[in-house]
Structures are given as structure tokens and as C-alpha cells.
């Protein structure tokens, strides 16, 4: 993988370069938010490791700017904050996953590889449209619209939406949603909840009729009706 690390701690950067480089990955390093933003806009990466607290501009702003520029590279955010609110802020800015400091380098590599594998190509042969009510997902371009209005989603909410639309109006269990995104190594339960919160804000909040419904004790379903 070609990885961009945006982190201001020189000791941690040295460890990441040694470990990831020794595992066959190429690594670019930026020590502040502005430099990291420049790297990410100029070069193509398989994944970005982004610290939350950075000189210049913080990780939330870096991630948000990248998404506004149409950069869909998976972002793994590093943070010492572990509250649900902090995680929601990170996912709302466009981050795809997070690790709480301190962390194991092996886990970081595994998370990066999982994110990179699940990064969608810009086009696929045989692509088609999924539709639930006025919500439409083009699986080739990954373009999402509702009522004709474009909706921007980062890769993990997009993956969750695709599965929910494929199975609509059936209920999809939490464990199945987690496996679809993280395989057999899901993070803690807050991660799925945070990504679904982000998805709900994007596809439901601006519209009168909600489509994403929580089925307590089971999972989630995408449907015009909330009746099971």
C-alpha cells in the first residue's frame, strides 16, 4: 500500500515508517495539517493515517476539506479521545475508521488493509441502480441521490447503504453490517452506530419521510414504512 501519515509526533512517525516500511508499504509523512492536506491533494494514496490533534489545522478539518475536494481515500483517524461524541465528529468529517492511542502497530496495519480493500473503484462493469422510494444508488459511479438531490457519503456509510438497499425491506442484523465493513475484526460497537448516525443524517435528515429504521434488538432496515 501507498500510505500517507499525517502526525506531528516524531517518535510515532519513526515507528510507523519503520514498521510499515518493513512490511513492504511505502510511506509519506506530513507533520502538520496543511502539509498533509497538500500531500493528499497532490498524490494518490491507498489509505491515510490522520492524527486528530495537529498544528495548523486539525485532523477534522483536514478530513472535511479532502471530502469537499472529492478525495475518497480511506482515512484512519488516530485520537486519544474515546467518547461517542468525539467519534461522531470524526465520522461526520469523513473519516472511515479510528484507533485510540496507544495502539498496536499490527492492528493499525490490519485496519488500513481492510479499508484499502473496501475502497471502491470509480466504475464497475455491469453496474446498476438500487432504489428505495426516492433514494437511488448507482453502484458503478457510487453516486447517491434522493429526490434528485445529490448526497455525499464516505466509503463506510456508502457500503452500509448498499447492503441495506440490497436487502430492503428486510432487517439486516448488526453483526452482518459489521462483517460487511470490517470482516471478522470489527472495532467496538460505537463505530457502527456512529457510521449509521452519519448515514441517517445524510439520507433522512433533510427529507420529510425517514427511510432508515432501527429495529431494536435485531438491526436496521431501509424502507418507506417503519413497520416490521
Q: What is the pLDDT of residue 119?
A: 63
Q: Is the pLDDT of residue 202 over 60?
A: yes
Whether pLDDT at 57 is above 50: yes
pLDDT digits (tens, 9 = 90+) for 5-55: 999 999 999 999 999 989 888 999 999 999 999 999 998 898 999 999 999
| Consecutive H or E run containing 222 | strand 219-222
Of the pLDDT bands very low, low, confident and very high (cuts 50, 70, 90), residue 122 is: very low
Rounded CA-CA distance 114/183 in Å is 8
Q: Which CATH class is domain 2-118?
A: alpha beta
Cα gap 154→198, rounded to integer Å: 9
Give 125's pLDDT tier (boundaries 50, 70, 90).
Answer: very low
Q: What is the mean pLDDT of the chain?
A: 87
**Domain 129-222: assigned CATH number:** 1.10.10.10
pLDDT band at 102 (very low <50, low <70, confident <90, very high): confident
Dist CA 171 CA 220 (whole Å): 5
Measured at the alpha carbon of residue 49, what is the angle toward residues 46 and 50, in degrees to the nearest 5? 130
Hey, where are the domains in the chain? 2-118, 129-222
* Dihedral, CA of residue 112, residue 81, residue 162 and residue 46, to nearest 10: -20
129-222 and 2-118 share a CATH fold: no
The beta strand positions in 7-165, using DSSP E, are 26-30, 47-51, 75-79, 97-100, 129-132, 135-138, 143-146, 149-151
- The pLDDT confidence band at residue 217, using thresholds 50, 70 and 90, is confident
CA angle in degrees (0–180, nearest 5) for 59-64-65: 100
Task: Give the mean pLDDT of 156-178.
Answer: 91
Considering only residues 182 and 136, tell me which one the structure prediction assigns the higher pLDDT: 136
In the chain, pLDDT over 90 holds for what percent of residues?
47
Mean pLDDT along residues 108-127:
67
Nearest CA among 164, 144, 158 for reference residue 215 = 164
State residue 123's pLDDT score.
40
Task: State residue 189's pLDDT score.
Answer: 64
Amino acid at each position: 500500500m501507498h500510505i500517507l501519515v499525517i502526525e506531528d509526533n516524531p517518535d510515532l512517525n519513526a515507528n510507523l515508517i519503520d514498521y510499515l516500511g518493513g512490511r513492504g508499504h511505502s510511506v509519506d509523512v506530513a507533520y502538520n495539517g496543511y502539509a498533509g492536506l497538500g500531500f493528499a491533494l497532490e498524490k494518490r494514496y491507498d489509505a491515510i493515517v490522520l492524527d486528530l490533534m495537529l498544528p495548523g489545522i486539525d485532523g477534522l478539518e483536514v478530513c472535511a476539506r479532502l471530502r469537499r475536494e472529492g478525495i475518497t481515500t480511506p482515512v484512519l483517524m488516530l485520537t486519544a479521545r474515546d467518547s461517542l461524541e468525539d467519534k461522531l465528529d470524526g465520522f461526520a468529517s469523513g473519516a472511515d475508521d479510528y484507533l485510540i492511542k496507544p495502539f498496536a502497530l499490527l492492528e493499525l496495519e490490519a485496519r488500513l488493509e481492510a479499508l484499502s480493500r473496501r475502497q471502491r473503484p470509480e466504475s464497475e462493469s455491469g453496474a446498476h441502480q438500487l432504489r428505495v422510494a426516492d433514494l437511488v444508488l448507482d453502484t458503478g459511479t457510487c453516486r447517491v441521490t434522493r429526490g434528485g438531490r445529490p448526497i455525499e457519503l464516505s466509503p463506510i456509510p456508502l457500503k452500509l447503504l448498499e447492503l441495506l438497499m440490497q436487502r430492503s425491506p428486510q432487517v439486516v442484523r448488526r453483526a452482518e453490517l459489521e462483517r460487511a465493513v470490517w470482516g471478522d475484526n470489527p472495532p467496538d460497537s460505537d463505530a457502527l452506530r456512529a457510521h449509521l448516525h452519519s448515514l441517517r443524517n445524510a439520507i433522512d435528515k433533510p427529507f420529510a419521510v425517514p427511510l432508515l429504521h432501527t429495529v431494536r434488538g435485531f438491526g436496521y432496515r431501509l424502507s418507506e414504512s417503519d413497520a416490521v
